[in-house]
Amino acid sequence: MQTTPGLAITPLRYDPAFEIEEEGEADTTKGMLDSLKHISSTTYEHSGHATRSVHAKSHGLLLGTLSVAEGLPAVYAQGLFAAPGTWQVAMRLSTTPGDVLDDKVSTPRGIGMKVVGVPGARVAGSEGDATQDFVLVNGPVFLAPSAKKFAGSLKPLAATTDKVPNLKLAFSAVLRGTEKLIEAVGGESGTLKSMGGHPETHPLGDTYFSQAPILYGDYMAKISLAPVSPELTALTGKELDLSGTPDGLRDAVMQHFATHGGEWVLRVQLCTDLETMPIEDSSVEWPEEQSPWVTVAHLRALPQPAWSEGLAKAVDDGMQFNPWHALAAHRPIGSIMRVRKAAYAMSKQFRAQRNDMPIAEPRDLAMLAPLTAL
């Protein structure tokens, strides 16, 4: 357990004055909602089924358990992690686009984690629930520094939804080649990856990040999920041949969990300096030399069917993974997180109404157990 490095840091205590609303944030939110609704409406018109405006396609739907570590230093023993305990978790692996594409259009991957049965004071809007969600992507920083910049980049992207899929395949191949050249000389382009240039690698070997910050009890933090079991670390950077397999990522995840389980560590990076670790600019990677990642819990998943139509109905359609499903101790902070609240509310309402299926927060995951039994 990586607790020793964190003992040397002095994290900043959260102060509401640290959050500074961006100019025109209400207009930014409206513009972003218009773009996201356009994506959802377009895909619904073409398919007759309402999906998420981002991360529409799932590649794995898993059940696991999250065990909070014992003996955490006081600054890390906060909120959900204040005391040792074991919680049920539902996991959803996905890729970022709002349209359901051939996996050869290779984009960043995400993991949504829903920790179930969590007691404690809640953020506004989630009173009565008992879940803590973490929404993670396999890169340490968000593509845009602020909500306004993100909304600006989202508008042209929305216009390409469900259009010219074969052109997207060809464009993705070009972008992947360019990204390989950049990485060969030690670089990396989040922009190229987001547009379809992500390497065709196994999603179970990746490390995932919250990118934007949340409260961590009295402090502020980013969250990360990293593979640690040999079965998963063997997949880090492993290339997949996705030719002729439009659902190749899903096939790879299902193949792994048919015979193997997996273990990850959930890690926390506490903010120690607002200059080098800003909470209003999610495009900045927080320096590890100032605040290392510290393990606070282990996530384990046993061998299981990792995707099925029944699971997709229950999880893809019947659940939402939303950072605002949270304990008050882990309230999202910063402009990216603030505008996300309205976006998630809109997406939930759109999907529930079009699919005629309620989306509710579970109090346990017993209803999913028969769908994940080998």
Name the residue among 264, 275, 288, 268 with its Cα closest to residue 329.
268
Average pLDDT of the segment spanning 316-339? 96
Specify the pLDDT at position 96. 87
Q: Does position 202 have pLDDT exceeding 70, yes or no?
A: yes
| This prediction's pTM | 0.90
Q: Are 19 and 281 in contact (CB under 8 A)?
A: no
Structural domain includes residue 163: no
| pLDDT-above-90 percentage for the chain | 72
| CATH number of the domain to which 265 belongs | 2.40.180.10
The average confidence (pLDDT) of the chain is 88
- In angstroms, rounded to a whole number, what is the distance separating the alpha carbons of residues 106 and 302? 27
pLDDT of res. 367: 86
What pLDDT band is residue 8 in, cutting at 50, 70 and 90? confident
- Judged by average pLDDT, the poorest of 39-53, 244-258, 279-293 is 39-53
* pLDDT (0 to 100) of residue 100: 87
The answer to the question of residue 277 being in a domain is yes
pLDDT at 2: 40
Contact 12, 272 (CB under 8 A): yes
Say if residue 371's pLDDT is above 50: yes
Question: Residue 143's pLDDT band (boundaries 50, 70, 90)?
Answer: confident
- Residue 207 placed within a domain: yes
pLDDT, mean of residues 77-101:
94
DSSP 14: P
Residue 83 falls inside a structural domain: yes
Query: How confident is the model over 354-364, as pLDDT tens digits?
Result: 999 999 999 99
Q: Is residue 234 one of the residues assigned to a domain? A: yes
CA angle, 143 as apex, 140 and 144 as ends, to 5°? 125
- Domain boundaries, position 304: 5-15+57-146+202-328+341-346+360-372
- Residues 81, 91 contacting (CB under 8 angstroms): no
Output the pLDDT for position 144.
Answer: 83
Residue 72 included in any domain: yes
Confidence class for position 115, pLDDT limits 50, 70, 90: very high
Question: By C-alpha distance, which of 347, 334, 359 is closest to 98?
Answer: 347
Whether residue 305 is contained in a domain is answered as yes
Asked if pLDDT for residue 129 goes beyond 60, the answer is yes
State how many domains the chain has: 1
Helices (H), the chain: 25-47, 147-159, 165-184, 190-195, 230-233, 248-259, 309-311, 335-355
Structure-block tokens of residue 371: 């769908």
- In what helix (H) or strand (E) does residue 91 lie, and over which residues does it extend? strand 85-95
- Average pLDDT on 104-126 reads 93
Give the mean model confidence (pLDDT) for residues 140-165: 72
Residue 178 belongs to a domain: no
